[in-house]
Amino acid sequence: MNAGNAPLPAGDPWDCQAYGPEGTTIGALCFFSPELGSRVCCTQGECQDRLNVERRLVFDRIQDMAAAGDPVGEYLAGEFTTPGQILGGGQDQDNDPRAET
């Protein structure tokens, strides 16, 4: 992982899973980079791993909100039934919503 999350030059091209090819065309190369045209993730594998963790965190937060009776959380829990549906993930990435990452 890139120390300190400092943006890196674009390097080897790949589409960030969160933004996809549409993001790449406008310079959104990395979900974790604060700057267009740069990446924080050093490899495509790191990108995937970090986004899987982020998806899990967001999914768990949605589930917690829904369990607490928050109407927005309840709505989002109905829309996102697995972590793999969040941040550009394919729906089949995580079929078990409570699987360990």
- Sequence-distant (6+) residues with CB within 8 A of 44 are 12, 14
Asked whether residue 74 carries a pLDDT value surpassing 80, the answer given is yes
pTM: 0.71
Convert the pLDDT of each residue in 7-58 to its tens digit.
Answer: 545 556 789 989 989 999 999 999 999 999 999 988 889 989 999 999 999 9
pLDDT at residue 98, rounded to an integer: 41
Neighbours of 27 (CB within 10 A): 12
The SS3 call for residue 8 is: strand
**Residue 48 CB-density burial (10 A; 0-12 exposed, 13-18 middle, 19+ buried):** middle
Given a cut of 50, whether residue 93 has pLDDT beyond it is no
Domains of the chain, by residue range, sit at 3-85
Ordered alpha helix ranges (H), the chain: 20-25, 44-67, 71-79
